[in-house]
Amino acid sequence: MIKAYPKTQTKMKKIITFLALASFFAACTTNAVTGRKQLALFGEATLQQQALTEYQSFLSQNKVVSGGSNKDAEMVKRVGLRISKAITEYYTQKGLANELNGYKWEFNLVDSKEVNAWCMPGGKVVVYTGLLGITQNEAALAVVMGHEITHAVAHHGNERMSQGAVAQGLEIVGNIATANNPKYNALFTNVFAPTAQITVLLPNSRNQEYEADHFGLNFAAMAGYNPNEAIPFWQRMAAAAASSQKPPEFLSTHPADENRIARLRELMPEALSYYKPVGK
């Protein structure tokens, strides 16, 4: 009799675990572009809406370098437009145009020593002036922007937030985590807020980094930028980290190690197959 309780509890636990796993797998979607199964508990439209609010507030609180008279700001917009056009064409050809529903691309250069760049759901991109000292040329900037934009279009933020939601036991109705919940806002901030401290950021997973490198290179090449520039860029990034007491922000989630560079070399033939230099 006494032992009946633990047994019942064990059975209940098993049922609960089964239900949790069943809903977990139901919420797993196959990424149309990468082919990898990923957890997506959040509606893309909800994320885009919140991203827009965060983006506008970030731009209002930081010094945006306006295009037109500034060559660097113009370059950021030009690279962004070319990559977004290449991605739209690629998705359309594959019959995946609806993956980009709600995307309203924006590319802003922000005056900051920080070595960083990011793209939020919906195509909201920021490049920091500090990054340009390391990219040094337009093709290398295209490699970084291609990488960051891939994180957004491959719904990596949704996946990281969903993993965080499961870890925190966030209430999930159907397959969608409830949005009007303070925990949801905290998750969003942890994954996306550019002002968040590095220590609270959920780290990019190795899968996500690999995908962002892989498709980012391809997209930069499709946009007419030489993907080979990725190698010297990452070497410069590693050198910057080695020579500075405070390593670039970007490196906290993007280690510029030998593994990354070796992987990029492996990916290069595929990227080069997409490469058509602009104007040729």
Binding site for Zn ion (CB under 5 A): 204, 212
Q: Residue 25 has which token pair?
A: 């797998």
| Least distance from Zn ion to the Cβ atom of residue 46, Å | 23
Shortest reach from residue 238's CB to Zn ion, in Å = 15
Nearer to Zn ion among residue 177 and residue 256 (C-beta): 256
φ, ψ dihedrals at 225, nearest 5°: -105, 140
CB of 116 or CB of 204, closer to Zn ion: 204
Smaller CB separation from Zn ion, 27 or 221 = 221
From the list 139, 133, 102, the residue with the least C-alpha distance to 231 is: 139
Burial class for 52, CB neighbours closer than 10 Å (0-12, 13-18, 19+): middle
Smallest gap from Cβ 212 to Zn ion, in A, equals: 4
- The vertex-39 CA angle with 254 and 219, nearest 5°, equals 50
Instruction: Give the integer Cα–Cα distance in Å for 128 and 115.
Output: 6
**Beta carbon of residue 209, minimum distance to Zn ion (angstroms, whole number):** 5
Least gap, CB of 21 to Zn ion (angstroms): 29
- Is 260 in contact with 220 (CB distance < 8 Å)? no
Q: How far apart are CA 99 and CA 258, in angstroms?
A: 33
**Whose Cβ is closer to Zn ion: residue 32's or residue 201's?**
201
**Least separation, in Å, of the C-beta of 229 and Zn ion?**
17
Of residues 114, 80, 88, 128, the one with CA closest to residue 197: 114
Q: Give the pairing of strands 124-128 and 106-110.
A: parallel
What lies within 8 Å, CB to CB, of 28 at 6+ separation is 37, 38, 39, 40
Residue nearest to Zn ion (CB): 212
| Residue among 50 and 204 whose Cβ is closer to Zn ion | 204
Decide whether 27 or 209 has the Cβ nearer to Zn ion: 209
- Taking the complex as a whole, how short is the minimal distance between the CB of residue 183 and Zn ion, in angstroms? 25
Q: What 8-state DSSP symbol labels residue 179?
A: S
- Which residue's CB is nearer to Zn ion, number 170 or number 256? 256
